[in-house]
């Protein structure tokens, strides 16, 4: 997901610059509870180092609780900022990821085929099914053993991409939201005039009036 987010941010910055936007406008947005986002990133990075192994149930349980709680905290932050452009997409992506991770005990399921494309077939063969991949939130599970497997890391960008990666549908939706947030927020405000438009001929002093009706007291006597 990290590579996808970085790519979406870089693309959004480039498009915003080409459209004459200013990234300084991002700092003018009132993003509530912003400090929770870097805290969640640190917690998830630390939690990813607590792998799942048969002899370390307490660490595995702590990791599961940590990952689910961190995604729940992120969901609350996004919900509080749903008024901002693109945040509804981010909320949808976080919701999808939170659902599949909570359903799989705090882990994001990744099928062996996807793991082989990203980590290498030799590495994937060395990891037993049901074990966490080192340094990530993923757990190696075939589709028939994973809950909501279609929401897991099933979308693969293989080589010759410089950084082969696997991502979930939620990651893609979340990246779209972040992309739109940067592009839209960096643009100047669009002022719309709700007043009724007046045609130029209506303002002309020589505007012709319609035919007048003859007076009832005219010369008809």
Nearest to 147, CA basis, from 118, 120, 107, 199: 107
For residue 131 the two structure tokens come to 């074990």
For 112-162, write each residue's pLDDT tens digit.
989 888 777 766 777 888 888 877 889 999 999 999 999 999 999 877 777
What does DSSP say about strands 155-157 and 138-140: parallel, antiparallel, or unpaired?
A: unpaired
Round the average pLDDT of the chain to a whole number and report it.
Answer: 82
Give pLDDT, residue 208: 53
What does each C-alpha distance from 113 to 11, 152, 153, 156, 207 come to in angstroms? 29, 13, 11, 9, 76
Could you tell me which residue, 206 or 136, shows the higher pLDDT?
Answer: 136
Each domain of the chain, given as residue ranges in start order, spans 2-189
Give pLDDT, residue 188: 82
């Amino acid at each position: 997901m990290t590579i996808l987010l970085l790519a979406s941010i870089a693309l959004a910055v480039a498009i915003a610059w080409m459209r004459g936007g200013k990234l300084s406008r991002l700092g003018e947005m009132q993003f509530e509870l912003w400090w929770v986002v870097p805290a969640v990133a640190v917690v998830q990075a630390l939690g990813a180092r607590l792998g799942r192994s048969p002899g370390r149930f307490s660490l595995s349980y702590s990791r599961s609780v940590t990952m689910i709680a961190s995604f729940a905290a992120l969901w609350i932050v996004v919900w509080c900022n749903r008024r901002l452009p693109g945040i509804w997409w981010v909320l949808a992506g976080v919701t999808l990821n939170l659902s599949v991770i909570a359903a799989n005990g705090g882990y994001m399921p990744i099928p062996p085929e996807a793991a082989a494309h990203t980590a290498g077939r030799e590495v994937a063969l060395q990891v037993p099914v049901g074990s966490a991949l080192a340094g990530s939130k993923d757990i190696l599970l075939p589709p028939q053993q994973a809950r909501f497997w279609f929401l897991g890391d099933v979308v693969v960008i293989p080589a010759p991409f410089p950084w082969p990666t696997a991502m979930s549908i939620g990651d893609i939706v979340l990246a779209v939201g972040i992309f739109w947030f940067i592009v839209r927020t960096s643009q100047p405000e669009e002022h719309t005039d709700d007043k009724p438009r007046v045609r130029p001929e209506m303002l002309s002093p020589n505007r012709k009036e319609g035919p007048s009706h003859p007076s009832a007291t005219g010369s008809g006597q």
